[in-house]
Structure 1
Amino acid sequence: MTYSKKDDRPLVSVITPSYNCSSFIPETIKTVQDQTYFNWEMIIVDDQSKDDSVSIIKSLAEHDSRIRLIPLSKNVGAARARNIAIKEANGKYIAFLDSDDLWLPTKLEEQVAFMQKGNLAFSFTSYSLIDEEGKSLNIEVKAPKEVDYKHLIGNTTIGCLTVMLDKLQFKHIEMPDIQPEDTALWLLLLRQGYKAHGLPKVLSKYRIVSNSTSRNKFKAAYRYWKLLRSQEKLNFVKANFYFSKYAYNAYNKNRGSQPASLLNGGK
């Protein structure tokens, strides 16, 4: 069904990888459809799910032409799935939303206005945490006013579900094939001299899934260490310094104090 409601504001391309997400994807799509900002396209790249994710997404897309499904013939991983969607994106702005996370209704409207007001290339917002059942964990991750490369490298303060990029201001946007792939991309962009601007308002909900890779603290820590050494090419001393900052911030988060970081790269 063609979506007919008019919106003259810039098109936003929503990038969503999906894999065995049938339990969550209907609610995720609904939160995009419920946006007060109507001019969006949602590009869902299914990474060869084994459940009925594809049939569910197809059914929802039949009733909303803004939803586009790209089913893959082989499993390629979240980074490559996102990159396929990015290449297909027609929007001025690119926003990221994983298949189990949620947006508040004014997320796109408020963030696009924020981007336009400052002619920003890169923005992100505050967000809250929910459990697997969607119940609030009473934890908010607050977005600082501005993040540069030096700040981010020891603090994974940018939640992927909150990021919006102005596609026209970057020469190339592609998630590296290294985990955590979202943090890896933010570091690549900020290393070029860009800054990420924070909108200090909770506009998204990040779902903590019990069997996700990011909930395994040892694996998450190893991935971050590998990122510092392999992509950022830091020597052992510098890598150890920034890794220590990362671990300290993660520890504060797990104590329940105001989190400066989250182990949230790649679910």
Structure 2
Amino acid sequence: MISFSILIANYNNGKYFKECYQSLINQTYKNWEAIIIDDASTDDSVQMIQSLIKNDSRFKLFHNTTNEGCGSTKAKCVTYAQGDLCAYLDPDDALYPEALEKVVREFVSRDDLAAVYSQMILCNENLVPGKIYTGTKPIYNNRYFFNYPIQLAHFFTFKREAYLRTTGINTNLKNAVDQDLYLKILEQGAVKYLKEPLYLYRLHSNGISQDKAKQSSKESFARVIHDTMKRRGIQTINRKAVPEVFTSSDEIFKLLNYQTNRMHRLINKIKVTLDI
């Protein structure tokens, strides 16, 4: 039976963790563990988490003695994971009850899959569902796919063995950690898109991926894309040279402007449909 590791990097999200915890308890698929690392929170996160998980051995809580940031903490999560499959779940978000079961079903049916991802639904601060995030779409996965514009997001699950074939998460990243992970995993095998929301994404003022961090995220994402280009040995993009050294985010995104035009996206949609 396939085992599943849910990876949770927590920093000051104690007040939201109960819904995250409850969504795991309610999973229809039962063969899972939850690896939680608290990144030296200054709120009551540790006490809140401990009070909820104390009677369930599937939850394993670890602590950073000092604040190390998102990249380092998420990278540590994988080192503790024992599951065949892994997925990150933010402590302020939640999963639909059948999320793990539906994902496992896809991996069982196809040996060539390195990852499976789904739609997510945007929720308010109280985790009340609103609209489905429309950016998530089926992708044509080749060496020129950089998830720009964003087409691949939560709920992203991957084989642990595929992750171990990569260089892993860049521990220096404060933003765009997930984007870095996606692009590395996509180099390891096929990917399957599930056109249904399996993930509840909470919108709130403390979310590190929202407005106040947008500029920093843009810079980090550009660096991730540049690193990906170099890792894949790509020297030119659409007949334009890839810079040897990263200088600015604008320089990188200008190389990819053609990927936002309608014709390019239509061609990729046809390729996905025909599976070529």
Structure 1 residue 242: Cα displacement = 4.8
For 1:193 and 1:13, the matched residues in 2 are separated by 19
Structure 1 residue 72: Cα displacement = 1.3
Pick aligned residue for 2:254 from 241, 245, 248:
241
SS in 1 for 2:145: helix
For 2:141 and 2:124, the matched residues in 1 are separated by 27
Q: Is the 8 A contact 1:46 1:72 kept in 2?
A: yes
**TM-score, structure 2 normalization:** 0.78
Q: Is the 8 A contact 2:7 2:35 kept in 1?
A: yes
Structure 1 residue 20: Cα displacement = 0.5
Q: Is the 8 A contact 1:130 1:206 kept in 2?
A: yes
Quote the RMSD (CA, aligned, Å): 2.5
Q: Is the 8 A contact 2:117 2:193 kept in 1?
A: yes
Q: Deviation digits for residues 160-213 of structure 1, max 9, x if unmatched?
A: x411111234443521132301101211233x3533221111111111222333
Instruction: Say if 2:178 is the partner of 1:182.
Output: yes
Q: Is the 8 A contact 2:2 2:84 kept in 1?
A: yes
Q: Is the 8 A contact 2:33 2:59 kept in 1?
A: yes
SS in 2 for 1:152: coil
User: Which residue does the alignment assign to 1:132?
Assistant: 125
Q: Is the 8 A contact 1:148 1:194 kept in 2?
A: no
Question: What does 1:1-267 correspond to in 2, within 5 Å?
Answer: 9-119=1-111, 120-141=113-134, 142-144=136-138, 146-159=140-153, 161-172=154-165, 174-176=168-170, 177-178=172-173, 179-190=175-186, 192=187, 194-216=189-211, 217-229=214-226, 232-233=229-230, 234-235=242-243, 239-242=252-255, 244=257
What amino acid maps onto 2:128 in structure 1?
K
SS in 2 for 1:110: helix
For 1:170 and 1:76, the matched residues in 2 are separated by 21
User: Which residue does the alignment assign to 1:254?
Assistant: none
**TM-score, structure 1 normalization:** 0.80
Unaligned 5+ residue runs, structure 2? 231-241, 263-276
* Sequence identity percentage: 24
What amino acid maps onto 1:221 in structure 2?
K
Q: Is the 8 A contact 2:146 2:225 kept in 1?
A: no
SS in 2 for 1:10: coil
Q: Quickly say closer, same or farther: Cα 1:91–1:218, change in 2 above 3 A.
A: same
For 1:206 and 1:243, the matched residues in 2 are separated by 27
